[in-house]
């Protein structure tokens, strides 16, 4: 059986990305570094996903939308916003499809090309990496398990000030992703404003207080020889204020944890999955709770998802806002800025919840 870090001549050790390795190798078994420990494997009984609320953001009754949104985000931390009235969203089916396609094309490019397309930013904020190899020279520690995915990400400020660094391949990348991220920014603000209103603060309170650093992530999970022992992404909450996820209509993979069970968040046509982020949970002192989720792989087809995150600005202090603190809900945990939070999160994942914020898993 081949492993991913062998150095024999048939193996191009330069190619670190999983999708490109799989172009060369056909693994009949999952290499051992990808085999999850028994307790993390996705073999638990699944609940049908019709228990996940669907919110119609195109409705005209704002109070009703806010109510539903709040109820959903407090119960589940995650809700699906179905786009019934595209005219109110500004996000068309065409743009959603084009965006998914351009990211599929991106991940299908040769590894070298992807690296070139990611290396224009002098600050190194554009990243292409596989699994947990966030740091290019990282050496895998004994017992560390890899995830069955490649990730591409970059900041996408609405000013488009960094657009010169964006990929110019695939064709029309800047045009399509530029439009998509502008529209998703408006949608994210709309959702944060509705949530703010529901929480009794001023509509723009959340992002005015925390600043923002919008980021686009394209996750790519190649088809896997044995999905029962692998994970695309292990369970986590997003380290964002809010996340809006676009998944392919035909491919399942996202799971939400609720009451110790995993619920399949299957794609609904024209719907985005909206996920409350852990930063919003901390900021609201637990008034809204970030959904714990994971992604699994499948053996038939690759899956690509496009994840739009509103991170707070790097220097924002991550702590409950005074509006959400009283004697009954005292502030727990240490305060740090988002930059430090994120660096720790990238290395240690959900451990940060207990270590810094006293939140029991």
Give residues in contact with ligand OGA (CB under 6 A): 217, 219, 233, 238, 245, 247, 253-254, 293, 295, 305, 307
Q: What's the closest the beta carbon of residue 19 comes to ligand OGA, in angstroms?
A: 15
Q: From Ni ion, ligand OGA, none, which one binds at residue 219 (CB under 5 to 8 Å depending on kind)?
A: ligand OGA
H/E run at residue 294: strand 292-295
Nearer of residues 72 and 109 to Ni ion, judged by Cβ: 72
Q: Side by side, which strands form the sheet with 303-311? A: 54-56, 78-82, 271-276, 242-247, 303-311, 213-221, 150-155, 127-130
3-state secondary structure at position 97? helix
Q: What's the closest the beta carbon of residue 168 comes to Ni ion, in angstroms?
A: 28
Query: Quick check: 127 and 134 in contact, CB under 8 A?
Result: yes
* Token pair of 309 as six digits: 């995150």
Q: What's the closest the beta carbon of residue 155 comes to ligand OGA, in angstroms?
A: 15
Q: From ligand OGA, Ni ion, none, which one binds at residue 18 (CB under 5 to 8 Å depending on kind)?
A: none
Query: Quick check: 277 and 215 in contact, CB under 8 A?
Result: no
* Token pair of 262 as six digits: 């995993």
Residue 213, beta-bridge partner list: 311
Establish if 257 lies at the interface with Ni ion (CB under 5 A). Answer: no
Find the residue with minimal CB distance to Ni ion.
238
Nearer of residues 213 and 238 to Ni ion, judged by Cβ: 238
∠ CA 143-44-28, rounded to 5°: 55
Binding mask 226-255 for Ni ion (x = CB under 5 A): ------------x-----------------
Q: What's the closest the beta carbon of residue 275 comes to Ni ion, in angstroms?
A: 6
Q: What's the closest the beta carbon of residue 187 comes to ligand OGA, in angstroms?
A: 17
3-state secondary structure at position 127? strand
Nearer of residues 5 and 348 to Ni ion, judged by Cβ: 348
Q: What's the closest the beta carbon of residue 174 comes to Ni ion, in angstroms?
A: 25
CB atoms within 10 A of CB 13: 11
Nearer of residues 180 and 205 to ligand OGA, judged by Cβ: 180
* Token pair of 290 as six digits: 């970030």
Which residues 6+ apart lie within 8 Å of 31 measured at CB? 1, 2, 3, 4
Nearer of residues 57 and 307 to ligand OGA, judged by Cβ: 307
Nearer of residues 69 and 245 to ligand OGA, judged by Cβ: 245
Nearer of residues 150 and 197 to ligand OGA, judged by Cβ: 150
Residue-wise burial string across 100-120, b where 16 or more C-beta atoms lie within 10 A, e elsewhere:
bebbbebbbbebeebeebbee
Q: What's the closest the beta carbon of residue 199 comes to ligand OGA, in angstroms?
A: 23
* Binding positions for Ni ion, rule: CB under 5 A: 238
């Amino acid at each position: 059986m081949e492993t991913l870090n062998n150095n024999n001549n048939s193996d191009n050790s330069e190619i670190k990305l999983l999708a490109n390795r799989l172009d060369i190798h056909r693994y009949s078994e999952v290499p051992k570094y990808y085999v999850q420990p028994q307790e993390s494997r996705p073999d638990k009984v699944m609940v049908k996903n019709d228990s996940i609320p669907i919110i119609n953001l195109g409705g005209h009754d704002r109070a009703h939308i806010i109510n539903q949104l709040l109820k959903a985000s407090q119960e589940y931390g995650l809700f699906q916003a179905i786009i019934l009235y595209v005219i109110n969203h500004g996000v068309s089916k065409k743009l959603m499809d084009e965006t998914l396609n351009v990211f599929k094309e991106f991940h299908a490019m040769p590894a070298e090309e992807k690296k070139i397309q990611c290396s224009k930013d002098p600050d190194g904020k554009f990243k292409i990496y596989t699994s947990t190899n966030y740091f290019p020279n990282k050496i895998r520690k004994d017992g560390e398990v890899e995830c069955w995915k490649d990730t591409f990400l970059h900041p996408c400020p609405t000013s488009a000030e960094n657009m010169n660094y964006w990929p110019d391949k695939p064709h029309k990348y800047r045009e399509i992703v530029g439009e998509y991220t502008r529209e998703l920014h408006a949608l994210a603000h709309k959702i944060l404003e509705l949530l703010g209103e529901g929480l009794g603060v001023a509509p723009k309170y959340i992002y005015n207080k925390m600043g923002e650093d919008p980021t686009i992530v394209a996750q790519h999970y190649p088809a896997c020889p044995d999905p029962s022992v692998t994970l695309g992404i292990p369970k986590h909450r997003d380290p964002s204020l809010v996340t809006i996820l676009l998944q392919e209509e035909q491919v399942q993979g996202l799971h939400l944890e609720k009451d110790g069970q995993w619920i399949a968040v299957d794609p609904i046509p024209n719907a985005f999955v909206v996920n409350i982020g852990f930063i919003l949970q901390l900021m609201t002192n637990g008034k809204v709770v970030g959904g714990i989720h994971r992604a699994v792989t499948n053996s038939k087809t690759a899956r690509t998802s496009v994840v739009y995150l509103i991170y707070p600005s790097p220097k924002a202090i991550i702590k409950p806002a005074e509006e959400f603190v009283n004697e009954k809900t005292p502030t727990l945990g240490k305060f740090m800025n988002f930059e430090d939070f994120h660096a720790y999160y990238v290395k240690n994942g959900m451990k940060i919840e207990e270590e810094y914020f006293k939140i029991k898993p």
